[in-house]
Amino acid sequence: MRQLILRFAADQSGATAIEYGLIAAGISVAIITVVNGLGTKLNAKFALISTQLR
């Protein structure tokens, strides 16, 4: 039983997977933020063009 606990405490693969998950989540949030801001700007630009064409 002691060997099992020592092996579990020394295992780093779970921590690595969590770190990769956090990195992926951070990148996803950054992409969503940029796309959301870009979409808002494009929507405003198209609305301006639409009103100028009328």
pLDDT digits (tens, 9 = 90+) for 9-32: 777 777 788 889 999 999 999 999
pLDDT band at 2 (very low <50, low <70, confident <90, very high): confident
Instruction: Answer yes or no: is pLDDT of 34 > 90.
Output: yes
Instruction: Answer yes or no: is pLDDT of 8 > 80.
Output: no
Reported pTM: 0.59
The answer to whether the Cα torsion of 36, 37, 40, 42 is positive or negative is negative
What mean pLDDT is predicted for residues 37-52?
93
The reported pLDDT for the residue numbered 7 is 83
Q: What percent of the chain is helix, strand and coil (3-state, nearest 5)?
A: 95, 0, 5
